Structure 1
Amino acid sequence: MSNAVLSPRIHQDAVAEAEAGVAGEGAEGAGSAELVRIFDDIIAEAPQPDFKARHVLLRRLADVVCLPESRINAFERAVTADLLVEMLRESALVDRIRVAKRVSILAEIPNSLIRMLIIDDAEAARPLIEDCESLTTADLHYCARFGNRQHHLILATRKELDSILCEFLVDTEDVSIIEALLKNLRARLSQPALEAAVAMSQNHPQLIPLIMRRAELRPSSAYVLFWWAETDVRRLILTRFGVNREIMQDMAGDVFAMMATEKWQDPLARKALQFIERRQRNREALEKSPYSSLEAAIAEAAKLGMTRHMAEEISYMAGIKPSTGAKLMRDRGGEGLAVLCKATGLSKKALRALWKALRRPLRNAEGQMHPHLAEVLITYDILAVDRAQTVLRYWNWALSSALTHVMLRAISSGEDVDLEALSVPQRAAMLAFAQDLKS
């Protein structure tokens, strides 16, 4: 019986009889329900009729839609497309794929046909999403809104993807989609989209090399990425994004005298000039410190071990806030210490002393220099003083100037912060320092 092919009439009568039996009670009703299932299985397994006329008509309607403007006007094309859409809704996937491939090369595609195919099965939508140049921004956004994850993955690979659509795809927080988007060098990533990808890279390190290849990457995001990147990426960030401040220094040369006349009363201008000025060490902090110099404080810490008080003194004399200094001293890789020492004019000897003060290993079991220290010393060697100062001051500026007491309280209490309302350094500080501030 399982191999029999029932006529529609026989099946209709059998199903009617079984449905009538379902209304009965007990085993008879249950047996009738089972009979309905058996009949349905038989019909599902039976060969379906191959309507050749349908396939021919689909091809002919597609031919008409694809006719040049010299043969068909816009109204005729639209009406034909409406009829084609209605047929495609009930057609097999292979037919829909065939039509999608045909119309994807057209300079003008009726909107009803686009909207139907672009959110169809991913294989039917692929030819349009990937290759159709006549799709408008509205069409692509329609696909993003009403398509599924497979549509989003294909969208992420499309050439010349606009920045708003990129933001939409990044907001899905799907790592595979964001990977595909980052690999697509012809997609135009906005700064918020790239910052979101940078934030995700903390838990998904496979995104880091893709982010580093993006032309849109700016120092603010790179300086944040530094904290969870590996050694080779950290060096690349420091060499590529260690900005020279000579132009700013020349431009603001006479402003320092003006600020001195005003006794540095303007806090906004003072913070900006602190970022621009050449001198890194804080002379006022040195005069107030119990230590004779920054080197002396580090030597004392190496001898006795780093205490909180010593760390604060070293930070103040280095011209940074204690919170920034704590971040650098807790840096797992140690390259942050290389930045600190190079920016403040400290020698390699002082760097080794600081390393020892923080109870980091100087040598391995074989008595050779510990590989982590060796890597940090290489980073120290490749850094220029001015560029190291730029990185150090940006970190300090982001934490001390951008993070207000309101934001600090929100982070420590777990409150949500509207990132869109924050400035670039504020967002950088949130990403780089939020985890430290919570701990």
Structure 2
Amino acid sequence: MSDPEPLTLTETAAETGRARTAIARRLADIICLPSSVISPQERWIVGDLLYEILRNSDARIRRRCALRLSEIKDAPANIVKLLAADELDIATPLLQASEAVSDFDLMEISRLGTTGHRVLIAERLSVSETVTAALASMSEPAVITALLKNHGARLAPPTVNHIVALAQDEAGYVASLLKRQELRPRAALQLFWHCDHPNRKLVLQRFAVGRSLMIEASEEVFAMAAAEGWADPLVNRALKFVDRRQRNREASDVSEYGSMEGLISQIRLRGAEPELIGELGLMAGISDSLIGRICDDPGGEPLAILCKATGADRAFLEQLCEGLGGFSESEGLRRATAIYDALSVEKAQTVLRYWDWSKAGDGRQK
């Protein structure tokens, strides 16, 4: 992506003599006086005079004024914006620390400035959600890395989701994303697919939770929904997430393989035949897109979650790994069994169902 055109002064700055340097310094001195000495009206008038001088002065004068005004909380907004959008070495003190730069101006500078301007904005002591959204929308690795490392930068859920989507191609975002308090289950469990094994373990440790409260609160709703003939699709969708049972018993009853374990034994012998994989998803009670993603994943951890959630013993996890990718003698099996042993059935079910509920399985394959 090419950088947008940077903001520039409205006229070519001319080389200036001692008089212009002196008047610029004097006016800046007046602007920096405390409010007990100068009224807001007088400060604004002086600011208008200084603004006109700075627009047509050389970089030396602009740099000096920027450094001086960076510490003034109520510095004139027009001058602050002019200098904050200037060449990077002039803009730096204002973009780093000035409280006089408004969010609106920061968003405009982020849109029209250079990558260097955006990195400085991302590193500010405090960055609002609207400004971080504008910065992240450019999808520049240097800027997003600065945002993720800055815990004074507040990230709205859409911004987090955008960065999670970018993490598929920018693995360096993953570790920093996992440290953000704004990360929510939906984004984290989508991020899981882009993580290495240690970070997948961190995702599961933080977001694989039980559903005891939901189960207890919803017990009588199952009877209500059944009495209504399961007519409300939204209720059905929510209850499917809460249900204690993971396997589709009806699918097992009509299957020629008799059970999920029988089907896994066939996958071990015949490999990842589409018909077998489709039936595996049906027996597990999950969507075709999710079972496809689980079986295509090269890491092995999703297979462990599938087996633990459905109550399949570790021996069948080993058979499934062997049939799908030759994991039985590889590091993949070690990763899979480590996840299998670390998760309870209920927590594995939460992850599996949340993937399906949130359509996390509909993303691009790794």
Aligned residue in 2 for 1:14: none
Q: Secondary structure at the match of 1:71?
A: coil
1:91 alignment partner, SS class:
coil
C-alpha deviation, 1:77, in angstroms: 1.5
Q: Deviations over 1:296-351 (max 9, x none)?
A: 22123223434222222222221222332121111111111010011111111010
Q: Residue in 2 aligned with 1:125?
A: 91
SS of residue in 1 equivalent to 2:72:
coil
Partner amino acid, structure 2, of 1:213: K
Are residues 1:378 and 2:346 paired?
no
Relative contact order (alpha carbons < 8 A, sep ≥ 6): 1 or 2 greater? 2
Contact preservation (8 Å) 2:319, 2:328? no
Residue 293 in structure 1 maps to residue 259 in structure 2: yes
CA distance in 1, matches of 2:313, 2:281: 16
- Could you say which residue in structure 1 is the equivalent of 2:102? 136
Q: How far is the alpha carbon of 1:231 from its aligned partner?
A: 0.7
- Matches of 1:351 and 1:267 in 2, distance apart? 33
C-alpha displacement at 1:49, in angstroms? Answer: 8.6
CA distance in 1, matches of 2:60, 2:144: 30
Find 2:295's aligned residue among 321, 326, 329.
Answer: 329
Match of 1:275 among 241, 248, 253: 241
Tell whether 2:239 aligns with 1:310: no
Q: In 2, distance between residues paired with 1:258 and 1:191?
A: 34
Q: Matched residues in 2 for 1:151 and 1:263: separation?
A: 60
Find the aligned partners of 1:278 and 1:148 in 2 and give their Cα distance.
53
Go from structure 1 to structure 2 and tell me whether the alpha carbon gap of 1:283 and 1:49 turns closer, same or farther (over 3 Å shift). Answer: closer
The 3-state SS of whatever aligns with 2:328 is: coil
Q: CA separation of 1:383/1:111 partners in 2, compared to 1, >3 Å: closer, same or farther?
A: same
Question: Which residue of 2 is the match for residue 257 of structure 1?
Answer: 223
Work out the number of aligned pairs and report it: 353
Return the offset for 1:262: 2.2
Residue 77 of structure 2 contacts residue 101 of structure 2 at CA under 8 Å; is this kept in 1? no
**Aligned partner of residue 135 in structure 1, secondary structure:** coil
1-side partners of 2:324 and 2:277: how far apart?
A: 10
Q: Which residue of 2 aligns with 1:149?
A: 115
Give the match for residue 234 of structure 1.
Answer: 200
Amino acid in the other structure paired with 2:346: D
Aligned partner of 2:34 among 68, 73, 76: 68
Structure 2 equivalent of residue 164 of structure 1: 130
Q: Which has the larger radius of gyration?
A: 1
What is the distance in 2 between the residues matched to 1:71 and 1:240? 55
- Which runs of 5 or more residues in structure 2 are unaligned? 1-13
- Residue 356 (structure 2) aligned to one of 389, 396, 410: 396
Q: Which whole-Å deviations, capped at 9, do the CAs of 1:180-226 have from their partners, x for residues lacking one?
A: 11111111111111111111111111111121111111111111111
Q: Structure 1 length normalisation: TM-score?
A: 0.76
Which SS does the other structure have where 2:219 is aligned?
A: coil
Would you say the 8 A contact 2:132–2:153 is kept in 1? yes
Counterpart CA distance in 2 for 1:361 and 1:142 is 52
Shift of 1:236: 1.0
Paired residue type of 1:117: L
Q: Contact 2:15–2:57 (CA<8 Å) still a contact in 1?
A: no
Task: Tell me if structure 1 keeps the 8 A contact 2:289–2:362.
Answer: no
Structure 2 partner of 1:435: 364
Judge conservation of contact 1:114–1:139 (CA < 8 Å) in 2: no
Structure 2 partner of 1:38: none
TM-aligned CA deviation for residue 50 of structure 1: 7.8
- Cα distance in 2, alignment partners of residues 50 and 344 from structure 1: 78
* Shift, 1:361, TM fit: 3.8
Q: Which residue identity does 1:216 align to in structure 2?
A: E
| Aligned residue in 2 for 1:4 | none
Corresponding letter in the other structure for 1:435: R
RMSD, aligned α-carbons = 2.0
Aligned position for 1:177: 143
Please name the residue that 1:247 is paired with. 213
| Amino acid across the alignment from 1:385 | V
Counterparts of 1:68 and 1:381, CA distance in 2: 65
Superimposed CA distance per residue, residues 5-28 of structure 1 (whole angstroms, 9 cap, x where no aligned partner): xxxxxxxxxxxxxxxxxxxxxxxx
User: What's 2:64 paired with?
Assistant: 98
Measure, in 1, the Cα distance between the counterparts of 2:124 and 2:256: 62
Superposed CA offset, 1:59-100 (max 9, x none): 211111111222222222122222222222233323222211
- Cα pair distance change 1:117/1:358, threshold 3 Å: same
Please tell me the residue identity of whatever aligns with 1:158: R
**Mapped partners of 1:292, 1:55: distance in 2:** 89
SS of the residue corresponding to residue 358 of structure 1 reads helix
Whole-angstrom CA distance in 1 between matches of 2:116 and 2:15: 31
Name the residue aligned to 1:222: 188
> Take 1:221 and 1:158, find their aligned partners in 2: how far apart are those partners?
25
CA distance in 1, matches of 2:191, 2:177: 9
Q: Output the TM-score relative to the length of structure 2.
A: 0.90
SS in 1 for 2:154: coil
In 2, the alpha carbon distance for the partners of 1:386 and 1:172 equals 40
User: Where in structure 1 are there 5+ consecutive unaligned residues?
Assistant: 1-47, 364-369, 400-428
Aligned-partner SS, 1:216: coil
User: Which of 338, 347, 352 does residue 387 from structure 1 map onto?
Assistant: 347
Q: Distance in 1 between matches of 2:19 and 2:147?
A: 43
Q: 1:71 to 1:184 in 2, by over 3 A?
A: same
Take 2:293 and 2:130, find their aligned partners in 1: how far apart are those partners?
35
